[in-house]
Structure 1
Amino acid sequence: MKKGGLGRGLDSLIPNTNIEKKNDLQKSQITKREKEDQKSEMMLRLSKIEPNRRQPRKQFDEDTLVELAESIKLYGVIQPLIVQLKGDHYEIIAGERRWRAAKLAGLKEVPVMVREYTDKEVAEISLVENLQRDDLNPIEEAMAYQRLLKEFNLKQDEVAERVSKSRTAITNSMRLLKLDEKVQEFIAEGLISTGHGKVLLAVEDKELQREIARQIIDEKLSVRETEAVVRLCLNPRPVKEEIELPHQEIYVDFEEKMKQRMGTKVKIKRKEENKGKIEIDYYSLEDFERLMQLFGI
């Protein structure tokens, strides 16, 4: 199924409502529906409209809202909001982003289409609309899929059909909900990517997940670098036991004298059978030339 507008999603979602599949309609039925739509379309004051509290989208990008508000100032709200009457106000079924942008643009009223749905239908429509339009962050998206499966008793194949995505994509998305809650927050805020999150799924310890996630943020690790960190955490390299060699105190004293003489860090690494190496640190070209002069080179 092609990814399209909200109309296609509603067709597949609620086949028993007044929005029916076009290929099943006769010409007279289409005309009747258009007339009904015209009657239900109206201008409504923003103060009479309230968002849906069960809206799956919790975060709205301020920059894109400002851009939409500027467009609305020039052209107005082209696509009506879908609302339904709830007591003394109208609740948004689809179009909260347009409603927010219209408020930013200073509009007093917006075009709306009034519909009647059950609470279950409203929740499902809201989920599908946001998923179709890629309006959710990765964690909100995963939670929306989970709600469609659990609250509406849909199968993954049915969800995939409604949002025009593969079953595998939905399964992979929902796996993010197995991560530690703090790690999920990092993904929702865009501090780490879904790619990072998928790598962290290999770590069962939630505290370790958080530690690695913070390391990703602090050190700006790529996904590949994160894979290396996770591998090292899951399969730590064995620590070699230091061999206690004879006359150790002599070498320690000699190392200290060399540090004082050369004015830099010196490390004597001993091996068995009276073998080893001496490491001398330098920190710039000038520092290197100074050491060469000390050696008379």
Structure 2
Amino acid sequence: MMKYLYLLLFTSILSCSKTETKTTAQKELPQQNIAILVDNSITMWAKDFEPSRIDVVKTLLKNIINHKKENQAFSIVVYSANSYILCPLTKDKNQLLSAIDKADKGIMVLKPGTNFSHGLLNGIASLDSELHNKSILLITDGNENIKSYSIDIPLNDAIRNNITINSVVMTAKDYALMPVMMDLNNKVTFDKVKVEPFDTVQISKITTKTGGKFQIFYTKKELEGFNFQKFFENTQKAKSENISSTINDAKLSKIYKEIQKTNDSLKLKFQ
């Protein structure tokens, strides 16, 4: 009888030890802070990715959030010619999913065009200065056509703060059903338009300088089949020699204050 009691006690201790080890291992997982930047230029209404590019992105983001890991926190930024922090950094799935429902609102609210620098600066700001693994996922369907701040400013600040930038490009190979006109009742007219070839030079610079990766998708099926955890788990960091700008902290602080003013002015329009 005593032999069985000792065996039961030993099994119980071993089980507790395994549970404790597992719990400790889970606690030791480093937090991943990820800013998702969603293109809100008008071309995101294009219907080559059915029902539209932006609708496909919203469904994709909901899938990412619904399957996110416990150690992952996300923020969501929408951008076109300017940008807005739609959801601050959080692990709360409900808060993130609610924000994703509004991830196309900027198409009507933000200034028209595509400006990577403004969106990236807001993405960096949304990650705060937390000492965790930090990255940005930049989603776009076209080339940058609006200039504000030099692209080197967010890139150098990302490098300085060990923020990896990964990019997703969604575009048709030849033709797409694009929005070409909007009437006074906000009714949009679409037409078959030849797609401008995507310039990979700038996206390649944005990603490789920060230790990130980029992927181009030409179909909805390709995009939906991609494992985005590969991006989030990418821990490669940029090398310090990639920093080329001599912008000082005072000027950088002024730029971030300007970005924050944009957020403040747009807050009511996104509620």
What range describes the TM-score normalised by the shorter chain of this pair?
A: under 0.3
Rg comparison, structure with higher value: 1
TM-score, length-scaled by structure 1? 0.20
More helix by share: 1
Higher relative contact order (CA 8 A, sep 6+): 2
TM-score, length-scaled by structure 2? 0.21
